[in-house]
Amino acid sequence: MLYSVIGYYSLILGLCFGLILILFSVKNFQNSKFNTKILSFTFLQFFFVVISFLCLVVSFILSDFSNETVFNNSHTTKPLFYKIAGTWGNHEGSLLLWLFVLTLFILIFLLKSKNQPTKYKILTLVFQQIIIIGFFVFLIKTSNPFNFLFPTPEEGLGLNPILQDPALAIHPPILYLGYVGSSIIFSSALAATSLNLITKSWATHIKMWILISWIFLTLGILLGSIWAYYELGWGGFWFWDPVENVSLMPWLALTTLLHCILVLEKKLILTSWVIILSISTFTLSMCGTFLVRSGILNSVHTFANDPERGLFILIFLFSLIFLSLFIFFFFHKSNKDTPTSFFWLSKETSIIINNWFMMYFLSVVLIGTVYPIFLDVLSSQKISVGPPFYHKLIIPFLIPFLLMMAIGPKLKWIKSNLEDKTYLIILLLFSILLSFLIVKNFDTNFLLNTILISSALYLFLITLRDFFIKKYNNLSQNIAHFGFSLLILSIIFNNLFSTEIITNLKVGETFKSETTKIVFEGINQKKEKNYQSIIGNFSIQNSKGKIENMSPELRIYNQPNIVTSEADIKTTLISDTFIVINLVQNQDYFNVRYQVKPFMIWIWISVVLISFGGLISFIKKKYEK
Amino acid sequence: MKNKFLPLSIIFIFVIIFIIFYKGLQNTNIYTPEVTANNEIPSFSAKLLYSNKIINSSEIFESNKFYLINIWSSWCVPCKQEHPFLIELKKNKNIEVIGINYKDTQVNANKFLDELGNPYDQIIFDKDGTIGIEWGAFGVPESFLIYNYNIIKKYIGPLNNELINEIKLKIK
């Protein structure tokens, strides 16, 4: 109770500092002096948000049910780790985490950009404070995490069991670092545009922030995906669920931005691209928050359906969009003196082509996500857009995209001839041949698969070869592209070679197919602190006669009362075996789903590689300084 | 002219998007499929759990009275969860709770009721599950709210506090 009071008033203090900061900045902006007080106020604001956040964490640890957020999302029998993770496993707490990261980042930004022009710094701070104040008001007004409950309930309602997973406990903070990092890019791009400061040095400076957000966003999406794979028990890692799309869209925009900023840094072209992408990355993140939190879409992330909240974010989001459109159209002057046309065979052209591909992917995802909302409003029809839509529209375009990724980095700035053409052609032929041999045994969609695999394989081979010849020249890019080719390859192989058996079994029964024998040996029951579990024992014999024991689990959580199925997954470098059981309503049977999924782990590894590429680029930049 | 046209049209597009999102907020997105549950109850005859007496469905149901048919079993875990709610519901005098004991043994069923209490006014013993099939049950637990020989509502899965309150409202 004490902590709730402290937490609440810290929030209000933080809001006050936000307002003071804006006033102060405007004053300083006029005489363009950077007062050190600005820095201390920013620090104080951050400090109070930290206090408030810690208060919420402590309330969760102490299971203080006089706090409504704790009451709604915690329970005394929950393990400590999930009590803490429960802090951001709900709407109010996660918004507080947003604020925490927002204030942290602006503080780091101010500390790290001492050499930047004063006016630019102040203006960035002002834009950032507008965002921060917006979130403060949103939090205090519509989703106060410190609401009182009287009389104090004896027991809490508990955290949704599917959220009780280690990957999910760190997924929100990592993802938020990515989202919020994009807010800095947003503010800074707006500031630089209004001051007409879009220069090469600005590009170098903001590139660090783009890299940071990009790395975190990539890892955040990866963690969400891992969680879906291990916890949801559907045997997949990406479902084109609106919520996943919502995190993918800023990622696509940010990735494009990352490539554009490279060009800007070298040649001061594509400035409009950079500004628009900086704006859209953050607005897409905000748009995601809106779609997910307002309850306009139904998903695992919909914490509460509260139209008031939705309305607030909607108005806030569109004010930001209109503000940035205003700044863009009024202040941005495209450089007329630099030539805008360039030779067709150059790095710039390849990056522009890359941009258009990315924009295409982005619009496919965007349309797939919001189209059902539009349709519902305009004609009150309910539809849901599923994977086939995305696959049909994305896969064909992936082929030229992959080829561009392989050849593009080989080109030079301004004008170039392709070097060692023979190698490029030999590798291309080799990859076509290899993929032909791989796909030969599968009669489904022969042509498409061959072309798709060959293009991915081509990128794979070229980047692999580059590791050996172009030593450390552009290691980060090479690693990231290599990771991407590995990702596409693993996804394709995973899709092509996965096998699945779905059957209903009683205890003691055996299922036999040509390749697999599944014996349901028995069930055990176990009582844990906050759930009861039923563990099935299976022994599975594959075609090679190797016997493996697997024990998928059903958990019946006591608070709230929910049954979840925990898949048993055995991971090896070559393939994952995945088994999950579900209760059939008539209970003496269990529904058993057994899958062999090749190259599963490589999907995770390749995404880690991709972000590792970003990390190397980041470290290299630091080192150069 | 051309310079002004682009910003204005973009702003116009965003205004439209705003309006659509705004409208979308007003719609509820909780989608409940229409259930036409105005079916007459099936007629059957079955053994009672305690007395071994054969009873006909016409002997159980009377007109203008509320009944809750609850299909349960001792081996069913969710049944255990919903049991307290049935006992709670039984305190209400406006409704009779009738259990259909589904694919169970007499011994286990008795043990279950001894342990957790008996909320049922009558229990039909459905050893081979045929009565459940006649009711169109998907599984256990499942409940049917009945008034005037008609199924008013069907509840698939365990009852909880919310549903019990809903039932209480309906039978007032």
Q: Which residue of A has its CA nearest to B17?
A: A374
Instruction: Supply the pLDDT for residue B57.
Output: 77
**Is any Cβ of chain B less than 8 angstroms from the Cβ of A559?**
no
In this structure, what token pair is assigned to residue A609?
């590689």
Rounded CA-CA distance A352/A425 in Å is: 23
CB A104 within 8 A of CB A132: no
Interface probe, candidates A318, A379, A506, chain B, greatest B C-beta count within 10 A:
A318
Interface probe, candidates A305, A329, A527, chain B, greatest B C-beta count within 10 A:
A329
Chain A residues in contact with B24 (beta carbon < 8 A): 296, 373-374, 376-377
Q: Which residue among B7, B24, B75 sits closest to A296, beta carbon to beta carbon? A: B24
Q: What is the pTM of this model?
A: 0.79
Rounded CA-CA distance B143/A191 in Å is: 63
Instruction: Supply the pLDDT for residue B74.
Output: 79
Least Cα separation, residue A374 to chain B (angstroms): 6
| Single-letter amino acid, residue A33 | K
Q: Which residue among B14, B24, B30 sits closest to A321, beta carbon to beta carbon? A: B14
Distances (CA, A) of B78 to A163, A205, A275, A553: 22, 59, 56, 16
Distances (CA, A) of A57 to A63, A80, A85, A116, A241: 10, 11, 9, 37, 30
pLDDT at B30 exceeding the cut of 50: no
**CB-based contacts of B133, cutoff 8 Å, min separation 6:** none
Torsion A554-A557-A562-A564 (CA) sign: negative
Distances (CA, A) of A154 to A59, A69, A161: 14, 14, 20
| Single-letter amino acid, residue A289 | T
In this structure, what token pair is assigned to residue A327?
């700044």
- Largest pairwise CA distance in chain A: 83
Please give the share of chain B, as a percent, with pLDDT higher than 70: 88
DSSP secondary-structure letter at B43? P
* CB-side neighbour CA atoms (13 Å) of B38: 2
- Per-residue pLDDT of A1-34, as tens digits, reads 788 999 999 999 999 999 999 998 888 888 877 7
Least confident of A277-286, A521-530, B46-55, B109-118: B46-55
- Roughly what angle, to the nearest 10 degrees, separates helices A242-267 and A166-194? 40
Rounded CA-CA distance A337/A451 in Å is: 43
Chain A residues in contact with B25 (beta carbon < 8 A): 294, 296, 307, 310-311, 314
Q: Which residue of A has its CA nearest to B81?
A: A561
Closest CA to A539 of A554, A517, A568: A517
**Is any Cβ of chain A less than 8 angstroms from the Cβ of B103?**
yes
Position with higher pLDDT, B76 vs B117:
B117
CATH topology of domain B39-170: Glutaredoxin (3.40.30)
Write a three-state SS string for A336-402.
CCCCCCCCCCCHHHHHHHHHHHHHHHHHHHHHHHHHHHHHHHHHCCCCCCCHHHHHHHHHHHHHHHH
The confidence band for B35, taking pLDDT boundaries of 50, 70 and 90, is very low
CB A555 within 8 A of CB A563: yes
Range 218-257 of A in CB contact (< 8 A) with B: none
Instruction: Supply the pLDDT for residue B31.
Output: 45
**Is any Cβ of chain A less than 8 angstroms from the Cβ of B31?**
yes
**Is any Cβ of chain B less than 8 angstroms from the Cβ of A295?**
yes
Instruction: Supply the pLDDT for residue A415.
Output: 61
Note whether B22 contacts A314, CB cutoff 8 Å: yes
Question: Which residues in chain A come in under a pLDDT of 50?
Answer: none
| Single-letter amino acid, residue A525 | Q
**Is any Cβ of chain B less than 8 angstroms from the Cβ of A377?**
yes
Instruction: Supply the pLDDT for residue A344.
Output: 65
Instruction: Supply the pLDDT for residue A610.
Output: 94
Q: Which residue of B has its CA nearest to A559?
A: B81
Distances (CA, A) of A112 to A40, B41, B50, B67: 15, 75, 80, 72
Q: Which residue of B has its CA nearest to A307?
A: B25
Alpha-carbon Rg for chain B in angstroms = 24
Chain A residues in contact with B27 (beta carbon < 8 A): 376-377, 380
Rounded CA-CA distance B21/A159 in Å is: 30
- Per-residue pLDDT of A570-622, as tens digits, reads 888 888 888 888 876 556 678 888 888 888 899 999 999 999 999 998 888 77
Interface probe, candidates B29, B80, B161, B162, chain A, greatest A C-beta count within 10 A:
B29
Distances (CA, A) of A40 to A14, A43, A45: 13, 5, 9
Q: What is the rounded average pLDDT for all residues in chain B?
A: 78
Least confident of A17-31, A319-333, B44-58, B107-121: B44-58
Note whether B25 contacts A311, CB cutoff 8 Å: yes
Rounded CA-CA distance A464/A485 in Å is: 10
Chain A residues in contact with B79 (beta carbon < 8 A): none
Rounded CA-CA distance A616/B140 in Å is: 57
Q: Tally A–B CB contacts below 8 A.
A: 69
Instruction: Supply the pLDDT for residue B151.
Output: 80
Q: Which residue among B23, B31, B77 sits closest to A382, beta carbon to beta carbon? A: B31
Note whether B139 contacts A586, CB cutoff 8 Å: yes
Least Cα separation, residue B128 to chain A (angstroms): 12
Note whether A588 contacts B27, CB cutoff 8 Å: no
In the numeric block, the tokens 């590009």 are attached to: A203
DSSP secondary-structure letter at A471? T
Least Cα separation, residue B64 to chain A (angstroms): 32
**Is any Cβ of chain B less than 8 angstroms from the Cβ of A557?**
no
Chain A residues in contact with B22 (beta carbon < 8 A): 311, 314
Q: Where are the domains of chain B?
A: 39-170
pLDDT at B29 exceeding the cut of 60: no
**Is any Cβ of chain B less than 8 angstroms from the Cβ of A305?**
yes
Note whether A296 contacts B10, CB cutoff 8 Å: no
